[in-house]
Structure formats: C-alpha cells, structure tokens
Structure 1
Amino acid sequence: MAKSKRGHALWSLPSRGRGTCPVCQSTRIKLLYPKRKTDGSVVKVCKRCDKAPQTKVDAVLV
C-alpha cells in the first residue's frame, strides 16, 4: 500500500524545505539537516553536506 503521508510535514515549510545549500551550492535541494558552526550559529544543509567536515561548515558566510 502506498504511503500517502510520507513527506507531508515538508509542505508547511517555506519552499517545501528546499533551497540552495550554503556548503556545496546545490540548488533546489532539500535543506533538512541543521549544522552548528563553531561560533554557535545554526545553518541548514543538505543530506550530503550533513557529513561534511566542520571546516567546510565554518566557511559558510550565512
């Protein structure tokens, strides 16, 4: 049976949870994973960049 509610929580997010990843610059990708920079700010990144080293996350200018 199909899972009709899968991903339904994304509909309430702006742009349905999609945008440009600040780490890898991929466009129209789901930004679902919060990563904390060393200065304490939080940046949402894509699935691939969730496992990126901390130096790449700190290089983000957001």
Structure 2
Amino acid sequence: MAKNKRGKSLWTLPSRGRGTCPVCGSTRIKLLYTKTTSSGQPLKVCKKCFNATQARIDAAQTVV
C-alpha cells in the first residue's frame, strides 16, 4: 500500500525543512534533528551531524 502521508509535515516548515547545517556546512539539506549546546540552546542539525561530538556542536553555535 502507498504511504500517502510520508513527509507531509515537512510542507508546513519554512523552506520545507531545508537549510544550511551549522556543524558541517552542507547546503540545501534537511535540518530535522535538534541538538542542545552546552549553554542549553537548541540547534537544528542534519542527519550526518546528529551524532557529532558536543565540542563540534558548541563550536558551531559560536559561529552562528
């Protein structure tokens, strides 16, 4: 059977959930995963960077 609702929630997000990942710098990639920095601020990252070390997440927060 077809899966009619797959990805439907992405249409409500700005730019369809796509952007530039602050950790790796990939452009036009889906930013669906939330990581928190050491200061407690949420940061949206891509699937590749979801398992990144906390040091890389904190370094990306200072750049943004």
Deviations 1:38-58 (A, max 9, x none): 011111000010000000000
Runs of 4+ that moved beyond 2 A: none
Larger helix share, 1 or 2: 2
List runs of 5+ in structure 2 lacking aligned partners. Answer: none
Q: What TM-score results when the alignment is normalised by the length of structure 1?
A: 0.95
List runs of 5+ in structure 1 lacking aligned partners. Answer: none
Equivalent-residue separation in structure 1 for 2:33 and 2:48 (angstroms):
10
Any idea what SS the aligned residue of 1:43 has? strand
Q: What TM-score results when the alignment is normalised by the length of structure 2?
A: 0.92
- Considering only aligned residues, what root-mean-square deviation do their CA atoms show, in Å? 0.7
